[in-house]
Amino acid sequence: MRDELQEELKKHFPKLIDEKTQIAIGDGWFDLITCLLQTLMITPDKPRLDDISTKFGRLRVTSFSGVSDAAHGAIAMSEMMSRYICSVCGNKTDINHTDHRSRCLAHSDQAR
Ligand SMILES: [Zn+2]
């Protein structure tokens, strides 16, 4: 994810992510991760996230300190939804799941 998008997330959600949070996802999931962070802000624990990455083509969100059931549900849903959103551009149609990536047809040939 571009630096300016990461900085925007850190600015708007300082309780959830900070300079130590590793963010390694495509720009196409910016809206998805923003919705997740907005949802986590209304959970009782507002968990600090350690890692936001991709595993087998899906979003993977980790908090080493553990999360409440409510936060876990929000994270699980965003991870599931990531399969249906191109990680490069955010397109939600014609998603190709080959090579453990979630990409639309226009971006399925790109290395990253
Ligand atoms: Zn795309």
Domain contains 100? yes
Domain contains 42? yes
Q: What's the domain range around 72?
A: 3-107
Domain contains 48? yes
Domain contains 112? no
Cα separation, 47 vs 109, in Å, equals 36
Alpha-helical segments (H) within the chain: 3-12, 30-40, 69-81
CA of 88 to the centre of ligand 1 (A): 5
Residues 57-86, mean pLDDT to the nearest whole number? 96
Give tens-digit pLDDT for 27-37: 999 999 999 99
pLDDT band at 99 (very low <50, low <70, confident <90, very high): confident
Is pLDDT at 102 greater than 60 in this prediction?
Answer: yes
pLDDT band at 96 (very low <50, low <70, confident <90, very high): confident
Is pLDDT at 87 greater than 80 in this prediction?
Answer: yes
Residues 40-66, mean pLDDT to the nearest whole number? 96
Give me the pLDDT at residue 111, please. Answer: 61
Give me the pLDDT at residue 109, please. Answer: 80
Q: Report how many domains make up the chain.
A: 1
CB 43 within 8 A of CB 29: no
CA of 67 to the centre of ligand 1 (A): 31
CA of 31 to the centre of ligand 1 (A): 14
Q: How many CB atoms lie within 10 A of CB 11?
A: 9
- Considering the entire predicted model, what is its pTM? 0.93
CA of 66 to the centre of ligand 1 (A): 32
CA of 42 to the centre of ligand 1 (A): 30
